[in-house]
Amino acid sequence: MKKVGIIGYGWLGSRISRNFAESFEMHATTTSPQKLKNIRSEGIQADLAVFNEDEKQFPDPWNIAPELDVIIITVPFSERRTSKEILQKKLSSLISFIGKFEKQLFFMSTTSVYPDEPGIFKEEMLPSENIFTENKIKEAFPQINILRLGGLMGDSRLLKNFNISDLSGVVNHVHYEDVSAVILKMIEKDVRGKVYNVVAPLHPLKQEVIAAQNNQHSDDMQYNNKERIISSEKLITELDFTFIHPDPKNFHLD
C-alpha cells in the first residue's frame, strides 16, 4: 500500500485524507495540538508542524517523508495578503521540513493568481515562473504538480452561506471531491511537473447558484460579456478527466 502524506490537515486536507483512507496509508501534519489527538483517532499518523516567518521556530525535518510515496501540500500561501519576505521564510521552512524528496509532490495553489479582470484564463497564460510562491516551490522540487484550485465548496460550504456583495458575476468553483479525484488520477498515472486549473467546467452566475441552493427559480438572469472564467480544459483533455460535480448549482445536492 502506498504511503501518502498531507502537509496541512485543514478543511481540504482532512477531506482528501478521508477520501484516500481506504486506498493509502495516510500521514498528516497539523499546526494544532488540539487537532493532533482527533486526527490520530481517525487512524492517521499525524505530527505537529508550524510554518511561519520566525526562522528560530522552523520545524524539524519530517521523519516519515523519506518513506512516503506522495506528498500533498495544502498549507495556504496568500500572495495578496503576505509580503514576499514572509512568504520566502514560510516556504523555506516548508522546504526544509520536506527535505530531499524526489517522488510525487502536489502543491495546492489558487486561481486568484490570475488577474481580476474579464477573460478566459488558461495555465499557459501565466507560467509558474511568474508567480513567486509557485516558482520557489518548483525550484526546490522540479517534479512538483501545481494545482490552481477554484473556490473550494462542498458539504456545508455553500455560496449561500457567504456574504456576497456582487451577485452578477460567474463562479469559478470546485467541489472538494473533484480535487481528490484529480490528485488520485494523477497518482495513478504518475504525473509529474504539471500545472492545472482545477475548476468545475460550468460557470453559472453567483445568483443562479444561490437561488438553486435556496430551492428558488433563477429565471431572467443574464450573463454579460465581461466574465472572468478559469478554464479547466487542459486538465480534462490531458488526464481524460470527468468531473464528478461539473455544475456548481448542484453542489448542495451531493
The top-scoring range by mean pLDDT among 68-82, 115-129, 223-237 is: 115-129
Structure confidence at residue 85 (pLDDT): 87
Structure confidence at residue 53 (pLDDT): 57
For residue 71, give Cα distances in angstroms to 29, 83, 121, 157, 216: 11, 26, 27, 25, 42
**SS (HEC) of the chain:** CCEEEEECCCHHHHHHHHHHCCCCEEEEEECCHHHHHHHHHCCCEEEECCCCCCHHHCCCCCCCHHHCCEEEECCCCCCCCCCHHHHHHHHHHHHHHHCCCCCEEEEEEEHHHCCCCCEEECHHHCCHHHCHHHHHHHHHCCCCEEEEECEEEECCECHHHCCCCCCCCECCEEEHHHHHHHHHHHHHHCCCCCEEEECCCCCCEHHHHHHHHCCCCCCCCCCCCCCEEECCHHHHHHHCCCCCCCCHHHHHHC
Structure confidence at residue 42 (pLDDT): 86
Each residue of 42-81: pLDDT tens digit? Answer: 889 999 898 875 555 556 789 999 999 999 999 988 777 7
Domain that includes residue 99, residue range: 3-253
Each residue of 142-178: pLDDT tens digit? Answer: 999 999 999 999 999 999 999 987 888 999 999 999 9
Q: Does 192 score more than 90 pLDDT?
A: yes
Determine contact, residues 84/132, Cβ cutoff 8 Å.
yes
Structure confidence at residue 241 (pLDDT): 98
Per-residue pLDDT band at 253 (split at 50, 70, 90): confident
Structure confidence at residue 60 (pLDDT): 79
Report how many domains make up the chain: 1
Q: Does 24 score more than 70 pLDDT?
A: yes
C-alpha cell, 149: 484550485
Q: For residue 92, what is the domain's CATH number?
A: 3.40.50.720
Mean predicted confidence (pLDDT) in 30-47? 89
Each residue of 159-169: pLDDT tens digit? Answer: 999 998 788 89
Q: How many CB atoms lie within 10 A of CB 72?
A: 27
Structure confidence at residue 200 (pLDDT): 98
- Total-model pTM: 0.94
Each residue of 198-227: pLDDT tens digit? Answer: 999 999 999 999 999 999 876 666 666 689
Each residue of 82-110: pLDDT tens digit? Answer: 788 888 989 999 999 999 999 999 999 99
C-alpha cell, 102: 524526489
